[in-house]
Structure 1
Amino acid sequence: MGGYVFNVSQSVKLKPSFLTRLVSGGPLQVDVAANVLWQDKFSFGL
């Protein structure tokens, strides 16, 4: 799992992240997500 916070502006930050899973006998799975932080008080994600 990993991610990083990017400062888009003084009040907006973007935090993309990823999660990788590998199970024996199964395919590689990768989940990608992103959160937007507004004024360090509100978070919106997809």
Structure 2
Amino acid sequence: MTTFGDHKNLYNGIKLKDEFTRTTSRLVEMKKKIRFFLGSAYKVSRRQGW
């Protein structure tokens, strides 16, 4: 039989995991955007002959 405390710990664990997943995916998105931005900036500078 589980107590209320166990449920609370389980809930907090799930919440933390969810938060971690969300943060990770946000970082991945940011990395993609940065890479895209740097890539396009690089192409533009190459085109202008820098």
Normalised by the shorter chain, which TM-score bucket? under 0.3
Find the structure with the greater CA-based Rg: 2
Higher helix proportion (structure 1 or 2): 2
> Which has the bigger relative contact order, CA under 8 A and spacing at least 6?
1
